[in-house]
Chain A
């Protein structure tokens, strides 16, 4: 192709591997990048500016660069921040423990039905996650199909509740995020060369040893990806806490949502959103320090 356009250029080996330098990429990329600039980068800046304003929704807000908004937001909502981090950690741990054996079995023993199993696993996610969460609130309701029947045969006391508890919120978030846990695990487990496991066994490794010394280390990239993909949405979630939780289960997302949409206290909501981003950033930096940066971009 190069030769066609520029006849005087000598043909170098594998010219198609070398990206051309031309104006074309700018023309191709410009509309999409402009879209992301105007609707992603600038809104983040707008939110940053909003987080440093003071005023009320009635009198309007003024840009005062009040950095104390951040410390105020943090000190007023410390409980929710801590609770969100705790919930996200628990959710991620449970999701990894639940999903790993499934991903492992499908990747190693799924045979020609691998795709069927994956399809079955992803099938429920064709229903909107709001409706799935609402369905869980229906299933777990105080006299619903599970608690109601257990109560009627006397296995549970009449006053027993699941809805409104932290357990319900954590279970709901875990359920909703399981595909984000299972897919990266499956992808990395699927790529493992089976011969390595066989070799370990040939060298007299027990099944357990072969798993902990070969399979587990090789699936680490998948575990890291699953960790990120599960914990990031988990920490910012507010739908599960709203639908399945109660007064004692409010998370940082619920505060941001109600401050922004109900109370129109934009600066505090914006500051809290940045606090959330900050927590994730710190998490990502710690993660990168511990595990190396190339793993993050890999994920």
Chain B
């Protein structure tokens, strides 16, 4: 769009091509469509947030269900957030597995990503392929394979198998994230540290690791988010150790407990705020 392109244009201005002012209204078509698209994409979220403040009449003393009509404003579901013990337990399970599996995946994935970015070694092609496959295989295939494996081992499914499964599917994502950053890293910084007398280990911890930190953090958050969001692999590997998404799907067969919408609203606001802050901070830095 700089001088190169504008130069010939100026020469031929006397004969402007047909794209004159004739279709003036059409230039509003695309922006309008984009706005409509964003509204469509956000519509379920608006509904979730709105109906988390809706009253539910009656309910025969059993747990209440979200009503499709607007009855009245209430903040009850936020005050009674932990009223459903099963839901609270499922959420605690999800958070625990999320943190533990993300920690494991971040450790393993960071080292793997570093190796792939820095070295050419035997088996590198195979490693690339395994990463590519584990990212692109359909979740149901991964879930069924893991469940088959646990069945074959005679390992009863529960928290431990969930941890193993979640850390497995996250490793590849962390490795890819860290590799991208490590590949763009100036290695002369590390060399400089060693020239100044640091041994390779010190250089790694004092120079490389801090420089990689944003990617490692991004990888951890990605792994945590993937684990929290996962339904398919959890359903195949959880056994009786119910996770938040699987509990929600089971419970909503007879109607949605309003607590689910309240939790969803809180999770959404937390995630959106964190991402927004992160985006602003990283923008200021660059």
Contacts and interface: CB of A to CB of B under 8 A. Distances in A.
Interface string A257-272: 1001100001001100
B123 A33 contact: yes
B41 interface: yes
B140 A126 contact: no
Contacts of B191: 1, 4, 16
B59 interface: no
Given A29-B127, A198-B9, A130 B245 contact: yes
Interface residues of A, number: 94
Contact of A47 (B31, B42, B149, B245): B149
Nearest to A37: B130
B138 A276 contact: yes
Contacts of A41: 130
Contacts of B8: 202
Contacts of B172: 36
B245 A131 contact: yes
Contacts, number: 273
A52 B194 CA distance: 56
B228 to A, nearest CB: 7
A120 to B, nearest CB: 5
A101 B33 CA distance: 8
Interface stretch (B71-79, B80-88, B229-237): B229-237
A238 B115 contact: no
A138 interface: yes
A93 interface: no
A272 B267 CA distance: 36
Contacts of A276: 138, 140-141
Nearest to A118: B279
A214 interface: no
A146 to B, nearest CB: 10
Nearest to A252: B140
Interface in A251-289: 253, 256-257, 260-261, 266, 269-270, 273, 276-277, 280
Interface residues of B, number: 99
B45 interface: yes
B187 A46 contact: no
Contact of A105 (B31, B124, B134): B31
B145 A44 contact: yes
A47 B137 CA distance: 14
Interface of B: 1-2, 4-6, 8-9, 12, 17-19, 30-31, 33-34, 37-38, 41-45, 47-48, 51, 66, 68-69, 107-109, 111-112, 114-116, 118-121, 123-124, 127, 130-134, 136-142, 144-149, 151-152, 164-165, 167-168, 171-172, 175, 187-188, 190-191, 194-195, 228-229, 231-232, 235-236, 244-246, 248-249, 252, 256, 260, 264, 267-268, 271-272, 275-276, 279, 283
